[in-house]
Structure formats: C-alpha cells, structure tokens
A and B are shown apart, each in its own frame.
Chain A
Amino acid sequence: MQLTNRSKQVSNKEMTFSERMYLPAIAGGLRVTFSHMFKKSATVQYPEQVREHSAVFRGQHVLKRDAEGRENCTACGLCAVACPAEAITIVAEERKKGEEHLYREEKYAAVYDINMLRCIFCGLCEEACPKDAIYLTDRIVTSNYERADFIFHKEDLVEAVALEGRIDITKRKKDK
C-alpha cells in the first residue's frame, strides 16, 4: 500500500566512490541548513504575542452578572452535579432585604469554589446551568506554586460589575 509518493526503493548496492567520500552529501546538508537561516521562525513570543485560541476553547470559568450587575447564579447546584470531576463546591444562602441589587433571585451562592486541579474543562457545568451563570472563557488558568492557590473562590470567578470588566462569552453563547 502506498500512502505517499515520497517512499524510496531501498537497495543493498555498494556505495559509489563519490558517495563513500561523503563530501557531496555534506555539501548538500550544509546547503539545507543554510537555507533555514532565512526561513521564518515558528516561535510565538508568548507574553507579548498571544496565539489566538479557537472559538470553542474552554479555559477558566466566569460567573456572569445580568445587565443590572446582579449575579446570575442561584446556587441550584446543577453544575456541581454535572461536574464529572467533582471540582465545584457550592454553599447556598438566602438573599436578605437590601441585597436585591446584588443577587437576581432569592437564593445565591455564598461559596462558589472550583478546584482547578480537578477541573477537566469539559464544559458540562456550562451546559447544565439553567441561569446562564457559568461559562468557560478563553482565559488560561494561571500557574501557581501552592496547591491551595488552585482553588478558585467566588471573587476569582465572578466578573466585574463595571461594564468594561465584563467578560465576553458571546462566542460560547452561540454554541449553546
């Protein structure tokens, strides 16, 4: 079976004198390596240059707010149930009077932790969420020295109230 046309017939024949000298072959090799001096390098200079992710990239999670800046999450726990790695921990709390501007519904997540060491970025939490609260973004989970630093608490996950701090998840919404 021939998959490419690059295969070469191998033979046991004796090398000719010029082949045994190796010098023509070395000259050919030098030509190849020299030509690479002028080729474009494949390097991406990471901190300055960031390679664009694909639209379906699943990175660090975000907890969304609604248009008025209230948290969408109602601590229903469906994401935690859907999570195959059991990375999500939720503790629910009741909304008090005067907190209407903070939480959209009567129940909210007082604790929302994701253990990034357990998370497999499968996106099932995003699919399970009935309130459009959790999404995976194109952000990369930062590296840390301590295991405890990989447990992301609510303050690491909820997006900013200010509009410019909001995280764009429109690409993922379309998929849903």
Chain B
Amino acid sequence: MILLSILLFKTGLAFTLFLITLGIAAYSTYFERKVAAFMQDRVGPNRAGPLGLLQPIADGVKMIFKEEHRPTGSNRILFILGPSIAMLTALMTTAVVPWGKTITIGGTAYSLQVADINVGILYVFGVVSLGVYGILIGGWSSNNKYSLLGAVRASSQMISYELAMGLSIIPIILGSSSLQLSDIVTSQYEVWNIFKYPLGFLIFLICAFAETNRTPFDLPECETELVGGYHTEYTSMKLGFFLFSEYVNMFASSAVISTLFFGGYHFPGMSLFPEGIAAILGIAVLFGKIIFFIFFFMWIRWTIPRFRYDQLMHLGWQVLMPMAILLIVIYGAIFSFI
C-alpha cells in the first residue's frame, strides 16, 4: 500500500515536473523578450493578451502551423531524431534534482525528487552529454555542408566545456563525499557551497553558459554571422524543438546550479519555521533561485558580446581546464590534510 502510494506520488511528481519544465521554458521565451526589451529601453511583447502573456502560445501555434520542409537527400529518420534527442535529453536532466525537503503525509515520507539515484550528478552530466547527439545528428542528417560544420562546431564546443564543468564540481563531491544530489543539498544546510567554492562556481557557471549555447557562447546559433549552424535546414516545430530545448536546458542548468552551489531548497533561517512550512517555503525558494538564474542568463546575454571561436576554445581548454584541475589539487590537499 505504501509502495503504491509512493509510486503514484512519484508518477505525479514526474508529470508535474514535466509540465512545470515545459511551462517555465515556454515562459522563458516571453521573459527573455521582456528582459531584452527592458534592457534596451523598449516595451517588448504586449499585444497578445494582458501584458503579452499569451505570446508563447501564439509563438507555439505559429511554429506548429509553419510549412514543414525536409531537404532532398537528407536522412529522414535521423532528421526527425535530431530535435527529438535534443528535447528528450533536455527534459531528462531535471529528474534527479531535489525540489524540496522530504514531506511526511500520514506517516509516509515522500521525497520531492523523482529519482534519488546515488550517482545523481554523474547522471546529469551523462544526460547533458547525450544532448550533443541531438545537435550532431541534426546537423549531419540535413545533407548540408554548412549544417554539418555548424554541428561539429557546436558539439566540439559542448564537449570542450563539459570537461571543465565536470572537473569544477569535483571539490564539491570531495566536500560532501557523495555524488547523490540530495546529499549535496543536505550538506549545504549551514553554509552554501558558493562560499566554500567560489572559483569552482565561476568555472561551473561559465561552462553552463557554454553548455546551454547561451551568449557569450552562442556560436552554434548566430544566424547573421554563421548562417544558423546546425539547424539551418530545420523548419517549423522541428526548429522549434531545437530552440525550445535550449530554454529547457537553461531551466535545468539553473536548477543544477542552485542545487550544487546555492543550497538547493535551503534558505537562511529555515530552522525557525515548523517542518511542513519550511518544506513548502523551500520549494518556493528553490524556484526563486532558478528564476534568478534564468534572469541572470538573459542579463549576461545583453551585456557580453559573442566570443570568437578560437577565443572560445582557448578559454575552455587553456584557462578553465587548468584552473579546474588546480582547484582539485588545492581542495584535495585541504580535505586530506586538514
């Protein structure tokens, strides 16, 4: 009976999470345009519905009804598989993020996490690196040299930054001596990881920007300079999936950053509240952190210009990688001797 209720709860949680992820990603597109407008002293979308709030729906309808086109000589199955993989992997990431404290209802403890697997953070990296397949397959199956070049460029960027990203969180894993995300969050009950590993956070943040293809690392999708890159040949909702998966990724990486470095659902003065209220407040706080990071992504977008490709590679391999390795050495020494 308890097992069944937990199973039902997990299914419900997974489904809610799916809807929340899609909803937040859809409204990020609106939010992005609004933030862009405000930063450029404009108004932004305000025609569809009150304050333009129906804009994402209008965009979605437009995307679905646009003409579908597949270039001749392209691989039909892979051409459809590309955006699907991009979307699927983007949606899978948030499964291991702990969204709140364990809630006890009627004597049964429900953890607000779809899957509390003991290699949580490795799962995140594994799934994120699968996202490269979506891009590469999409670019290759288009039967277009430039798309292929764009895909190679994009995937090499993502692979390069994933290394530094993976290395930058090793101090955290050493500190909490667990790969489980729930353990990492619990270990931040007193001090958030950002105060313990500020440099690691910086490296992780920069890599997260590169992984989600956001400015200043949005080289895969600069239409004007590089003709769109891997998704040049995509139209209608297939293109929409590629673009939408970027927003889902942005939400997922904001969630992972909040979990790894900003204490997840913890907030100062949490012990002052009774158990149940603290748990609910914790969820709200986590979403607040996530929304702040989504805003931060957009904030950066309108501040820093795009990198040149060689600068991008230089930063990834010659600055961030050595720095991350150095951090591992330093923190390793600290944890083993002190």
- Interface on A for B, CB 8 Å cutoff? 26, 29-30, 32-34, 36-37, 39-43, 45
17 residue pairs from A and B, CB less than 8 Å apart: A26-B304, A30-B303, A33-B299, A33-B303, A34-B39, A34-B299, A36-B38, A36-B40, A37-B38, A40-B41, A41-B37, A41-B38, A41-B41, A41-B42, A41-B43, A42-B42, A45-B43
| Cβ-neighbour of B41 out of A26, A30, A32, A42 (below 8 A) | A42
On whether the beta carbons of B302 and A33 are closer than 8 Å, the reply is yes
Q: Count the A-B residue pairs with Cβ separation under 8 angstroms: how many?
A: 33
B300 within 8 A of A: yes
> In whole Å, how far is A53's beta carbon from the nearest beta carbon of chain B?
22
> In whole Å, how far is B148's beta carbon from the nearest beta carbon of chain A?
32
On whether the beta carbons of B41 and A36 are closer than 8 Å, the reply is yes
Chain B residues whose CB sits within 8 angstroms of the CB of A30 once the complex forms = 299-300, 303
> In whole Å, how far is B260's beta carbon from the nearest beta carbon of chain A?
20
Beta-carbon nearest neighbor of A32 in chain B:
B303
Using A26-B304, A41-B41, A43-B42 as known contacts, list a sample of 16 further A-B pairs with CB atoms less than 8 Å apart, ordered by residue number in A.
Answer: A26-B303, A29-B303, A29-B304, A30-B300, A30-B303, A32-B303, A33-B39, A33-B303, A34-B39, A37-B35, A40-B41, A41-B42, A41-B43, A42-B41, A43-B43, A45-B43
Proximity bits, B23-53, A CB within 8 Å = 1, else 0: 0000000000001011111110000000000
Tell me the complex Cα distance, A36–B37, Å. Answer: 10
> In whole Å, how far is A39's beta carbon from the nearest beta carbon of chain B?
5
Chain B residues whose CB sits within 8 angstroms of the CB of A45 once the complex forms = 43
Chain B residues whose CB sits within 8 angstroms of the CB of A41 once the complex forms = 37-38, 41-43
Chain A residues whose CB sits within 8 angstroms of the CB of B303 once the complex forms = 26, 29-30, 32-33
Beta-carbon nearest neighbor of A29 in chain B:
B303
Tell me the complex Cα distance, A39–B39, Å. Answer: 8
Beta-carbon nearest neighbor of B46 in chain A:
A45
> In whole Å, how far is A69's beta carbon from the nearest beta carbon of chain B?
42
B residues 114-152 in Cβ contact with A at 8 Å: none
Chain A residues whose CB sits within 8 angstroms of the CB of B302 once the complex forms = 33
- Interface on B for A, CB 8 Å cutoff? 35, 37-43, 299-300, 302-304
Chain B residues whose CB sits within 8 angstroms of the CB of A43 once the complex forms = 42-43
Tell me the complex Cα distance, A42–B39, Å. Answer: 12
Beta-carbon nearest neighbor of A38 in chain B:
B38
> In whole Å, how far is B76's beta carbon from the nearest beta carbon of chain A?
39
On whether the beta carbons of B39 and A36 are closer than 8 Å, the reply is yes
> In whole Å, how far is B188's beta carbon from the nearest beta carbon of chain A?
24
Most chain B CB inside 10 Å of its own CB: which residue of A30, A32, A33, A37? A33
| Cβ-neighbour of A39 out of B35, B41, B43 (below 8 A) | B41
The list of the 7 closest CB pairs from A to B, nearest first, reads A29-B303, A43-B43, A33-B303, A37-B38, A33-B39, A36-B39, A41-B41
Quick one: given A26-B303, A30-B300, are A37 and B39 in contact (CB under 8 Å)?
yes
Chain B residues whose CB sits within 8 angstroms of the CB of A42 once the complex forms = 41-42
Chain B residues whose CB sits within 8 angstroms of the CB of A29 once the complex forms = 303-304
Tell me the complex Cα distance, A39–B303, Å. Answer: 16
Chain A residues whose CB sits within 8 angstroms of the CB of B42 once the complex forms = 41-43
Beta-carbon nearest neighbor of A28 in chain B:
B303
Tell me the complex Cα distance, A32–B304, Å. Answer: 11
Chain A residues whose CB sits within 8 angstroms of the CB of B299 once the complex forms = 30, 33-34
Chain B residues whose CB sits within 8 angstroms of the CB of A34 once the complex forms = 39, 299
Chain B residues whose CB sits within 8 angstroms of the CB of A40 once the complex forms = 41
Chain A residues whose CB sits within 8 angstroms of the CB of B40 once the complex forms = 36
Tell me the complex Cα distance, A139–B112, Å. Answer: 62
Chain A residues whose CB sits within 8 angstroms of the CB of B41 once the complex forms = 36, 39-42
Tell me the complex Cα distance, A45–B302, Å. Answer: 24
Tell me the complex Cα distance, A1–B300, Å. Answer: 38
Chain B residues whose CB sits within 8 angstroms of the CB of A33 once the complex forms = 39, 299, 302-303
> In whole Å, how far is B323's beta carbon from the nearest beta carbon of chain A?
11
> In whole Å, how far is A81's beta carbon from the nearest beta carbon of chain B?
47
Beta-carbon nearest neighbor of B301 in chain A:
A33
Beta-carbon nearest neighbor of B315 in chain A:
A22
